[in-house]
Structure 1
Amino acid sequence: MIRCLITLLTIFCALLTGCGPQEPIRIGFIGGLSDRNSDNGQSGLNGVTLAIENFNRAGGANGRLVELIARDDAQNAETAAKSANELVGAGVEAIIGPFTSGMAEVIIPITGKAGIFEISPTITSMAFYGKDDNLFRINRTTRDNAVDYAAVMARRGLVNIAIAYDIRNRNFSESWLKEFREALATHRGIIAAAIPYESAADSDFDSIVRDLLKSRPDSLFFISGAIDVARLAKAARSQAPKLPIGASEWASTEQLIDLGGEFVEGLLIVQNYDRDDRSQRFTEFSEAYLKRFQRAPGYSSVSAHDAATVLLTALKQRQKNETIKAAALRSGPYQGLQQEIVFDQNGDTQRKVYFTQIRSGRYVKIE
């Protein structure tokens, strides 16, 4: 009788997929965690980590906890390919990242071939828009941002603009430049000069700005990461202190103000979240982030947390034999930290943005 009871209990436990801990769900993270522009990748990893920790504390996906495997792309094609292949080899079910369009160009073909669902918090290049693939994007496109920038700058009388752009993230910067050129033309504006350069520790930013000024522009604009924008702004203030300056959304991190100091005062830049939001949801997130990482969240932290929210919800609601992509499409809309996230059939979405100007060492909303 006792043996029969033990046998029945053993069978019952097996039917419940085991009496012990269940195998974790492995998801990957890939972003720039070293070298230049690592502020975006590290902040993104922090946002994802916070979301997963909260998810696991709440019981995970029907009892299965999530294990995060993080890899660095170092903003380098060879490193990015190696890291992407490592995540494929680790058997991750989904990946959060990458954070730049230039690295996405390398990573997406590898993960896509493996059939892995991927959700990027920040990539915007038109090269990844409108495609029925395994990639979802949390951010809007370079076209959306360039159109808005052109309108805002034209209202300020800035229609003869000289631009420096970093070809290290060529997929993004050239897409942004193309869309901005077309958008500016609708306001009878022109790009007076477009100077490409490859970001490096020894880049000659004084020379770049000198070449931009030869076109006699009414403003300077930088399609670059935070480190380079800070250095370009310093060169600009030295050579043309009264000329308005602006930068694409790529640079809109805390590091820009920390590094740029007085040189980035007055710089125009867009944010994909409201830094002044006092809602309960965002306040709780900001306080938890500060407590966990001893720093305030940035735009990649917010976008990455939203991306993790989408993925974790899809994992929890996924039905038997359903792909994560199908679950993600079915499970929306999603409540992000500040706005509702709605995907179309291609995994693209819109996102509200806020134009800011750096004043007295902080980002201040202007419209």
Structure 2
Amino acid sequence: MKRSSLTLAVALAFTLACAAFAPSAGAQAAAGAIRIGVIGPLSGPSSDFGLPMLNGVKLAIDEINSFGGYLGRPLELVIKDDQANPELGLKLSQELVREKVIATIGFCNTGVAMKSIDVFQSSRTPLIVPCTTGTPVTTKFPPAESYIFRNAPRDAIQAPFMVDEIVARGWTRVAIFADTTGYGEAGLQDVKKALARKKLEPVHVGRFDLGVTDVTEQLKEARKAGADVIFIYTIAPQNAVVAKGRQALGWKVPQVGAWALSFPLFIDGAKEAAEGSLMALSFVAEPTNERRATFLARYARKFETQRIPVPMAAAQAYDATYLLAHAVLSLPGDRLDGPGIKAALEQPKRPYYGVVTTYDKPFSSEDKEALTPNMLVVGTVKNGQVTFAHAEDATRNRIVQRKQAAGGL
């Protein structure tokens, strides 16, 4: 089968990178696999985006190894299932460090990440976060010292992006519903800040624990307060509870939020109550350019599916793996350690033409966030599928948006 031009370009880039530091045949034979950690919720209620994250990593690793890996050494994944449990995530993070991975890709839940990131920071083991969007994840440590990188749109850009959408639609009486996890709390604060910049305040704030099955009374309070839109920050099952509660009350107020409204546990769980929901996305599973078409085709072929449960998780994890691989491939063997990889991530030698975007200097010693607001689009649920809310977004998405200089967000 003839390879696409994207695959050939990637193969050429890796061939050139490998050649730059090619060891002798004897050294290659003596060297073992390069171990990379992967951690996320591979079972339990957050597995709907944990498994696509893992699959995105696996797809990239298979491609990289088919091109020769690192100096003839294969890249090997050490996979851990944190089950969205902070205490378990901490234990497994400590295991990854003890098992001497050179870096780790992972975390889908803000609470789990916040419990564990000290392990990677103190051991000087680079961590690239491809899913967790809670703003505090990359702000805990001073940027120049931080080993925590992210290739996902943090809530500090998702929240104002969606507030802009709300205001543009003429909705000004916002009710916020947020769970009591680290993700919900951080998202709540980001939405409040974004509303304040528009000189707005929420008319109602509802809080609930994970696992809640009925928020009828809180919905009634929000309706009584005159809310004309609900901004929600929680994971998919609770998103469905809110949507079905609105439907049961006959309250046709729109529901908007971050990327969790694109998850199948929300869409399939809420069914017709999910229709029309709006969310911030960095990637929509439509072949809007050659890179995305190739990625979608290769994912479908490898995992024998025509539908990625959470495409954004898979695409961001795939790109995160290549960003790490490009950093690793730029280093000679004697610098293949945490500080060396950190420096290589912060000072990339060439752009990486990824699925979500073109990564031209995605990180630096002062910036650990790869994605910026211009890369986001508004998604919507239509006939049980996620697509572009605006035709102009679909058109704009054909042109790859590169990273913007740091601004007010």
* TM value normalised by structure 1: 0.89
2:393 aligns with none
1:184 aligns with 195
1:359 aligns with 382
Find the residue that maps to 2:195 and give its secondary structure.
helix
Find the residue that maps to 2:80 and give its secondary structure.
strand
2:398 aligns with none
Find the residue that maps to 2:202 and give its secondary structure.
strand
Give, in whole Å, the separation in 2 of the partners of 1:152 and 1:360: 21
In the alignment, structure 1 residue 317 sits paired with structure 2 residue 334: no
In the alignment, structure 1 residue 79 sits paired with structure 2 residue 88: yes
- Asked if the contact 2:261/2:267 (under 8 Å) is kept, the reply is no
Give, in whole Å, the separation in 2 of the partners of 1:285 and 1:195: 39
Find the residue that maps to 1:306 and give its secondary structure.
helix
- Give a deviation string over 1:161-211, Cα, whole Å, max 9, x none: 11211223x1x32222222212213333221111121111x5333344334
The 5-angstrom pairing of residues 206-355 of structure 1 reads: 206-295=216-305, 296-297=307-308, 298-322=311-335, 323-331=340-348, 332-341=350-359, 342-345=362-365, 346-351=367-372, 352-355=375-378
In the alignment, structure 1 residue 67 sits paired with structure 2 residue 87: no
Aligned AA (1:269): M
Give, in whole Å, the separation in 1 of the partners of 2:94 and 2:364: 28
- Asked if the contact 1:264/1:358 (under 8 Å) is kept, the reply is yes
Change (3 A) 1:190 1:110: same
In the alignment, structure 1 residue 57 sits paired with structure 2 residue 66: yes
Change (3 A) 1:72 1:208: farther
1:203 aligns with 213
More divergent stretch after superposition (203-212 vs 113-122)? 203-212
- Asked if the contact 2:104/2:125 (under 8 Å) is kept, the reply is yes
- Asked if the contact 1:253/1:299 (under 8 Å) is kept, the reply is no
Aligned AA (1:329): E
Of residues 111, 114, 131 in structure 1, which corresponds to 2:120? 111
The gaps in structure 2 that reach 5 residues or longer are 1-22, 391-409
Give, in whole Å, the separation in 2 of the partners of 1:347 and 1:321: 25
- Asked if the contact 1:319/1:327 (under 8 Å) is kept, the reply is no
Of residues 26, 31, 36 in structure 1, which corresponds to 2:40? 31
Residue 35 of structure 1 and its aligned partner are, at CA, apart by 1.6
Structural RMSD (CA) = 2.0
Find the residue that maps to 1:182 and give its secondary structure.
helix
- Asked if the contact 1:159/1:188 (under 8 Å) is kept, the reply is no
- Give a deviation string over 1:65-87, Cα, whole Å, max 9, x none: 01101101111111111111111
Aligned AA (2:204): A
Residue 17 of structure 1 and its aligned partner are, at CA, apart by 4.3
- Give a deviation string over 1:229-251, Cα, whole Å, max 9, x none: 12211111111432111122233
Residue 105 of structure 1 and its aligned partner are, at CA, apart by 0.5
The 5-angstrom pairing of residues 47-196 of structure 1 reads: 47-127=56-136, 128-129=138-139, 131-132=143-144, 133-168=146-181, 170=182, 172-196=183-207
Find the residue that maps to 1:190 and give its secondary structure.
coil
- Asked if the contact 1:248/1:269 (under 8 Å) is kept, the reply is yes
Give, in whole Å, the separation in 1 of the partners of 2:248 and 2:98: 50
Give, in whole Å, the separation in 2 of the partners of 1:223 and 1:236: 16
Give, in whole Å, the separation in 2 of the partners of 1:226 and 1:293: 23
Aligned AA (1:131): P
Find the residue that maps to 1:26 and give its secondary structure.
strand
Residue 19 of structure 1 and its aligned partner are, at CA, apart by 6.7
The gaps in structure 1 that reach 5 residues or longer are 1-13
- Give a deviation string over 1:11-40, Cα, whole Å, max 9, x none: xxx964447363000000011112212111
Aligned AA (2:201): I
Identity of counterpart residues, as a percentage? 26
- Asked if the contact 2:41/2:51 (under 8 Å) is kept, the reply is yes
- Asked if the contact 1:163/1:195 (under 8 Å) is kept, the reply is yes
Give, in whole Å, the separation in 2 of the partners of 1:173 and 1:344: 28
Give, in whole Å, the separation in 2 of the partners of 1:21 and 1:15: 10
Give, in whole Å, the separation in 2 of the partners of 1:321 and 1:207: 61
Find the residue that maps to 2:347 and give its secondary structure.
helix
Residue 252 of structure 1 and its aligned partner are, at CA, apart by 2.0
- Asked if the contact 2:231/2:256 (under 8 Å) is kept, the reply is yes
Of residues 17, 29, 32 in structure 2, which corresponds to 1:20? 29
Give, in whole Å, the separation in 2 of the partners of 1:357 and 1:364: 6
- Pick the structure with greater CA Rg: 1
Residue 299 of structure 1 and its aligned partner are, at CA, apart by 0.8
- Give a deviation string over 1:315-364, Cα, whole Å, max 9, x none: 11113443111122222532211311222323222241110221222223
Change (3 A) 1:225 1:294: farther
Q: How many residues align?
A: 351
Residue 131 of structure 1 and its aligned partner are, at CA, apart by 2.3
Find the residue that maps to 2:381 and give its secondary structure.
strand
Give, in whole Å, the separation in 2 of the partners of 1:16 and 1:180: 56
